[in-house]
A = this chain, B = another copy of it.
Amino acid sequence: MTTSREIAQLCGVSVATVSRVFNQPSTVSRQTRERVERVARELDYRPNESARALASKRSTLVGLVWDTDHRRPGWRHPFLQDLLLGLKSALSAHGYHLLMLATSGAETGSANLPAVGASLADPVAYVNMTRRHHLGGLILIDSGSDAAAFAAFAQSGIPCVALDVAIEGPRATYVTSDNTDGAEQAVRHLIAGGHRRIATITGPPDNQPAIDRLAGYRRAMAEAGLPVPEEYVAEGDFYRASGQAAMRRLLALGEPPTAVFAAGDEMAVGALLTAREAGLRVPGDVALAGFDDIEIAALVDPALTTVAQDKAGFGVAAAEAMLAMINGSGGDTPAPRRLPTRLVVRSST
């Protein structure tokens, strides 16, 4: 590994000048700058990240908080792969790397070293990791009910971008899909298909996207002047089994719905299975729409009408917000972003 000292010697300048060429190029004369740049390129020089972070207190790392504790409900993210891909490529384009922060398992840490992993039960641990590594900020992926911990991060002053959960703080923002609008589109589509008895299967009541999707359902129903009897709002938890259970309850009703909007595709698939078991034709006897457009949505029979999110765009938007805060002058925290969704009509409606 070539060091700044070697470059400096070869160019007949001090290491300070070499450093300036890469950090405040405008303060260096064009002549020296070009000389240093050329030699650096030839020797494939790049500053040592540990030294740079130590001296400048800023690294090129952005932390990812994604609690994978087995003991958590830990629902699988509907599109983690695309999300990571978007995050990573947008960060990469600006020279940043994504650090998946260790989460403390039961017996984290060696016998001697203090524990290294963090748990969302103890947000301070993450804050400490952020400072020890001089991370540029934290990207927060909700794994179920991390809102409280995320709020703590947001207050710490560390740049934070949360996905699908609203946070606020001096340097905190979030990215989400326009869940309300997406749900509204789906329910309007059902209404346009002639349905009037339309039920919904919701996500967990403390989950923001779930709340917003329910609001979209209610709004579309209200717009059309359709009633929403209490029993038509069946609670689920985004998992398939809860969709099955909710669908059984709906079908057992005196006046069962002729259409169901499930706030997540997994639940929609569960509802589909239950309808099939009950001998109902989909969409003939009951129409079904979901949310997320996960891979299996297109594959079940009948293929599921659903609301697609901009999966990779989600990651890109989060990365952009983070970079804006890192490079920004400080006061300019980006506003929350609400990405548009798109109704994908298939044969289940």
Beta-carbon nearest neighbor of A109 in chain B? B95
> Could you tell me if B44 and A128 are in contact, using CB atoms closer than 8 angstroms?
yes
B80, B85, B133, B299: the one within 8 Å of A300 (CB):
B299
B44, B97, B296: the one within 8 Å of A296 (CB):
B296
> Could you tell me if A95 and B81 are in contact, using CB atoms closer than 8 angstroms?
no
- In the complex, per-residue mask of A114-136: 1 if CB is within 8 Å of any chain B CB, else 0: 11110000001000100111100
> Could you tell me if A51 and B54 are in contact, using CB atoms closer than 8 angstroms?
yes
Query: Which residues on the B side are within 8 Å of A80 (C-beta)?
Result: 80-81, 84
> Could you tell me if A116 and B60 are in contact, using CB atoms closer than 8 angstroms?
yes
Query: Which residues on the B side are within 8 Å of A53 (C-beta)?
Result: 50
Which of A100-108, A196-204, A330-338 is the contact stretch?
Answer: A100-108
Which of A86-94, A165-173, A216-224 is the contact stretch?
Answer: A86-94
Please give the distance in Å from A262's CB to the nearest CB on chain B: 15
Query: Which residues on the B side are within 8 Å of A45 (C-beta)?
Result: 114
- A169 vs B315: C-alpha distance in the bound complex, in angstroms? 36
> Could you tell me if B95 and A41 are in contact, using CB atoms closer than 8 angstroms?
no
- In the complex, per-residue mask of A253-270: 1 if CB is within 8 Å of any chain B CB, else 0: 000000000000000010
Is A206 interfacial (CB-CB < 8 Å)? no
Say whether, besides A44-B124, A95-B110, A50 and B59 are in contact (CB < 8 Å).
yes
Is A161 interfacial (CB-CB < 8 Å)? no
8 more A-B residue pairs beyond the given contacts A50-B59, A98-B99, with a C-beta to C-beta distance below 8 A? A51-B54, A68-B85, A68-B88, A84-B100, A92-B117, A93-B105, A93-B108, A95-B117
18 contacts between A and B (CB under 8 A): A1-B128, A1-B132, A23-B112, A25-B112, A41-B114, A46-B116, A50-B50, A50-B54, A50-B59, A61-B99, A68-B88, A95-B102, A95-B109, A95-B115, A98-B102, A100-B100, A296-B299, A301-B301
